[in-house]
């Protein structure tokens, strides 16, 4: 006879991450039994896996943070990510404006902030690969040391159903990495609605990388590791956000240099300026031109600025 109370008692000791793993498994089974007709079940499956993984990783992060070696490794990791983030942000701003990025620091900071989710997803995927390798190593140790009398309790953590939980982690962590890859591709494309559509976002991203490089928003691809390493594509939607922010907020609508509305400018140095003019035909909506500053200090209608003569 089916006894619901006994089943509840068996699963009561499960911690929160294990409960999410169980719910993800039930959602996957229900999805398979429905002949893949209930798409909400696969979305629930993905959310439960992400929640379980986030809980486990946060617990590991807390343990590492309370040790001196862990703090050092975490700080080094964040320093590396921050360095890559700002370097890539400056490269994107340079590809949009065509000038050195240090003259527009606020646009660079905005680019770094908008790139933070992408770097967080990339870092999460790398950490998940290391975490999966650790669990696979545990299984190999169990298999090799079992003939010597070493049981699972000596290697596996003290938790309910450690063997089943280890199997769930080994099976599901690569699936979580695939979901993160889909989220990263969706973020690059600027179409979050396609995250759980049919996996076409990942294919579109790969096709976009192989497409002939013609447009400004797609031509810049940065090799972050050098050599033949992976390429990070430039995001067209992010380029448009940076161009709009630079024109509306950071650039100058009035200056000592001669300026005609609606053109804005950014001072490059004492003599040169970047003229930014709205252009509906341009891909990013703006036209950029480097010109000399026409200022009374240099004389009107002069092609070359005057230099002060020392007595």
- Answer whether 186's CB lies under 8 Å from 192's CB: yes
Which whole number is the average pLDDT over 1-23? 76
Same domain, 278 and 219: no
Structure tokens at 180: 């993160």
pLDDT confidence bin for 192, thresholds 50/70/90: low
> What would the pLDDT profile of 230-256 be if each residue is shown by its tens digit?
455 567 888 999 999 999 999 988 888
Q: Give the range of the structural domain holding residue 22, as residue numbers without chain letter.
A: 9-235
Residue 190 shares a structural domain with residue 294: no
Beta strand 286-292 with 231-233: parallel, antiparallel or unpaired?
unpaired
**Cα 110–Cα 116–Cα 121 angle in degrees, nearest 5:** 155
Q: What's the chain's average pLDDT?
A: 77
Other C-beta atoms lying within 10 Å of the C-beta of residue 35: 7
Overall number of domains in the chain: 2
pTM of the model: 0.71
**What is the average per-residue pLDDT within 31-45?**
81
274 shares its domain with 155: no
240 φ/ψ angles, rounded to the nearest 5 degrees:
-65, -40
**What is the C-alpha to C-alpha distance for residues 10 and 5, in angstroms, rounded to an integer?**
9
End residue of a domain, out of 206, 235, 264: 235
Q: Yes or no: say if 104 and 274 are a contact pair by the CB < 8 Å rule.
A: no
For residues 101 and 223, membership in a common domain is answered with: yes
Tell me which of 9 and 263 has the higher pLDDT.
263
Which of 201, 235, 269 represents a domain boundary (last residue)? 235
Indicate if 133 and 167 belong to the same structural domain: yes
169 within a domain of the structure (yes/no): yes
Q: Residue 245 has what pLDDT? A: 94
127 and 183 assigned to the same domain:
yes
Range 116-134 average pLDDT: 86
Last residue of a domain, one of 200, 235, 270: 235
User: Mind listing the pLDDT tens digit for each residue in 74-115?
Assistant: 888 888 888 888 998 998 899 899 889 999 999 999 999 998
Does residue 196 share a domain with residue 61?
yes
Return d(Cα 13, Cα 214) in angstroms, integer.
Answer: 58
Alpha-carbon Rg for the chain, nearest whole angstrom, is 27
Rounded-to-integer distance, Cα 137 and Cα 168, Å: 15
């Amino acid at each position: 006879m089916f006894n619901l109370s006994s089943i509840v008692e068996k699963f009561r000791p499960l911690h929160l991450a294990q409960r999410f793993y169980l719910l993800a498994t039930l959602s996957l089974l229900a999805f398979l039994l429905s002949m893949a007709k209930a798409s909400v079940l696969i979305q629930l499956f993905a959310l439960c896996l992400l929640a379980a993984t986030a809980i486990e990783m946060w617990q590991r992060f807390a343990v590492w943070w309370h040790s001196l070696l862990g703090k050092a490794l975490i700080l080094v990791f964040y320093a590396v990510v921050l360095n890559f983030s700002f370097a890539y942000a400056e490269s994107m701003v340079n590809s949009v404006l065509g000038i050195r990025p240090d003259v527009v620091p606020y646009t660079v900071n905005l680019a770094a902030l908008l790139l933070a989710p992408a770097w967080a997803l990339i870092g999460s995927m790398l950490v998940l690969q290391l975490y999966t390798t650790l669990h696979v190593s545990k299984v190999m140790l169990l298999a090799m040391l079992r003939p010597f009398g070493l049981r699972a309790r000596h290697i596996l953590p003290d938790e309910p159903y450690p063997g089943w939980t280890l199997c769930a982690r080994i099976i599901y962590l690569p699936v979580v990495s695939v979901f993160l890859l889909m989220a990263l591709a969706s973020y690059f494309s600027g179409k979050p609605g396609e995250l759980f559509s049919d996996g076409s976002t990942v294919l579109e991203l790969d096709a976009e990388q192989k497409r002939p490089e013609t447009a400004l928003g797609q031509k810049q691809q940065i090799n972050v590791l050098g050599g033949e390493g992976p390429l990070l594509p430039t995001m067209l939607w992010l380029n448009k956000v940076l161009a709009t922010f630079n024109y509306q907020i950071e650039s100058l609508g009035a200056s000592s240099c001669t300026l005609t509305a609606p053109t804005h400018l950014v001072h490059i140095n004492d003599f040169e300026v970047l003229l930014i003019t709205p252009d509906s035909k341009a891909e990013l909506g703006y036209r950029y031109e480097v010109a000399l500053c026409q200022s009374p200090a240099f004389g009107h209608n002069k092609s070359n600025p005057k230099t002060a003569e020392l007595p």
